[in-house]
Amino acid sequence: MKQLSQYDTPIHQALEEQKHNRLAHFDVPGHKGGRGNKELKHFLGEECMRLDMNSMKPLDNLCHPVSVIKDAQRLAAEAFGADEAFFIVNGTTAAVQAMIMSSCKAGDKVIMPRNVHRSAINALVVCGAIPVYINPGTNKQLGIPLGMSVQDVETTILENPDAKAILVNNPTYYGICSNLREIVRIAHQHNMLVLVDEAHGTHFYFHEGLPVSAMEAGADMAAVSMHKTGGSLTQSSILLTKNSVNGDYVRQVINLTQTTSASYLLLSSLDIARKNMYLNGNEAIAKTIYFADYARNEINKLGGYYAFAEELVDGDTVYAFDTTKLSIFTRDIGLAGIEVYDLLRDDYGIQIEFGDVGNILAIISSGDRNLEIERLISALSEIKRLHEKDKAGLFDHEYVKPNIVMAPQKAFYSQKKSVPLKESNGMVCGEFVMCYPPGIPILAPGELITEEVLRYILYAKEKGCFMTGTEDMKIENINVVEG
C-alpha cells in the first residue's frame, strides 16, 4: 500500500487514470463525455465534460468511501488537524446541518447565536431540536452583530445544562471572532459538544497570523467552506470532526441529505485545493492580508468610509478579527451598503460579496491583482464624490433581537395563513425572511413579528436588498401561524 503525503491528490489522480483508459461508457451521465450535448461541451470545455463521471469502483463512492475518496479525506483531516474529514458536495449548508443533526434529536436543546446562517435553523426545522439563542454583541456605530460574550455563553450553559451542543459562528461574515478556546473549555466542562460554522474561516488553518481555527481550539466539529477561501469549486465543502464524536454515525447523517451522485469535479477540486492550501497557503494568505491591509488604509484615507479591522477587538464579543476581510461601513456617506454594492456593479463593473443596510464586504484573495484593488479604491472614491448625501433617515442597525414564541419545526409545519407583510405585526412567523447574502434570517419560523422587524424588512426591500425565504416570491405576503 502506497504511503500517501500532502503532495498526493488521490481523487484527482484516479480521474486522470480513468480519462485515459478508453472505457466504453454505458453508465450515467448521459452526455457521454459531452458527445450527447455538444453545446454544453463547447461552453464548459471537453476536458470538463470528460471528467464529469459517475461513481465506479476505481473512483470510490462518497456515501461509503473505501479507497481514493477515503484516502483524500484522510489527507484533508491531516491538513486541517482533524481526526476525520468528510467531503461535502451540497455546500457548507449540508455540513452545518450534519453537525446539528448528528448532535441533536427532536426535543434536544442546542445553544447558538441568533445571527446564524439559515442552514442552522433549517436543520432545526428538519430534526426538531430546540434553539436556545444567545444574542450576539452589537457595535452601535457599525450596527453589526458581533461574536458571543463568554459570560453570556457560560450563563446560558448553566441555565440549560441539558443542552447537547453549542454552535459558534467563527468568523462572522464581517470577520468577527469569539473567544473560541474559552467557549470550548466551558462547553466541554458541561459535557456539551462545540460545533463551529467556520464557513468563512478555511484559511485560518494555514497562516499563524490569523485567529485560532476550530480544530486547534478543540472544537468537536467544524464546517469549512473550502470554496470560499480555500480555492475549490463552488458548492464544495469539508466537515471536520474530532474523535469525541462518532465519525461513522456522522457519515450516516450526512447521507440522509447528501446526493448519492457526487460530482467528481467538486470532489477533485477539494482534493487539489487541500494540497494547494497545505503547500502554498501560508504564502497565498500573506498576500491576501497585504492586499486587504493596503485597501483598508487607502479607503480610510478617502474619508466618509470606515474599513474596520483589529481596532474593534475588545477581548470579549470581538475577541479577534480576520484581517483578510475587507468590511466597509458606508452609512456616513449617506448610502446604505446595498446602494454602494449596486453602484459598484452597475456603474464600475465591480462585483463585491454583499451589501447590507450599513456595510459592504469585498472578498480578497491571492487571486486578486493590484490593478483590481486600485479599481475598487478608485470606484469608492468616485461614488463618494458623486453620490454622498446626508445620512439622516438611514437605518442604523443590522440586528434585531428575536422574540421566540414557538419551536422552528412546530411553527414551520403548523397550519398557516398568508397575510400582507404590512399587516402581520404581532403574529407568529411561519417561514423565513432574510437578505441574501449573507443568508442570516431577519425572521425565522416561530418568532414574533414586531414593528421593528417589519421596519427593517421594508427598509431593506426599499434599498434593494435581495430578499428570500418566503413562499411569496414578491415578498409582499408572509405565512403566519394560525390561531
The stretch 180-205 carries a mean pLDDT of 98
Q: What per-residue confidence (pLDDT) applies to 217? A: 98
Grade residue 213 by pLDDT with cuts at 50, 70 and 90.
very high
SS3 84: strand
The stretch 340-364 carries a mean pLDDT of 96
C-alpha 414/C-alpha 9 separation (Å) is 48
Q: What per-residue confidence (pLDDT) applies to 136? A: 92
Cell digits of residue 263: 460530482
- Summarize pLDDT for 90-142 with one digit per residue, the tens: 999 999 999 999 999 999 999 999 889 999 999 999 999 999 999 999 898 89
- Position 235 pLDDT exceeds 70: yes
User: Is the model more confident about 399 or about 69?
Assistant: 69
Domains in the chain, start-ordered, CATH in brackets?
A: 10-277 (3.40.640.10), 408-481 (3.90.100.10)
- Position 396 pLDDT exceeds 80: no
pTM of the model: 0.95
Q: How many CB atoms lie within 10 A of CB 392?
A: 6
Grade residue 475 by pLDDT with cuts at 50, 70 and 90.
very high
In angstroms, what CA-CA distances link 382 with 299, 335, 360? 12, 13, 16
Q: What per-residue confidence (pLDDT) applies to 133? A: 94
In angstroms, what CA-CA distances link 96 with 195, 395, 425? 8, 31, 31
Cis previous bond, 437, omega within 30: yes
**Which residue is listed with cell 461535502?**
88
Picking from 23, 49, 24, the residue whose alpha carbon sits closest to that of residue 36 is 49
- Position 1 pLDDT exceeds 60: no
Q: Which amino acid is at 362?
A: A
The stretch 371-398 carries a mean pLDDT of 92
Of 29-38, 163-172, 432-441, give the lowest mean pLDDT range. Answer: 432-441
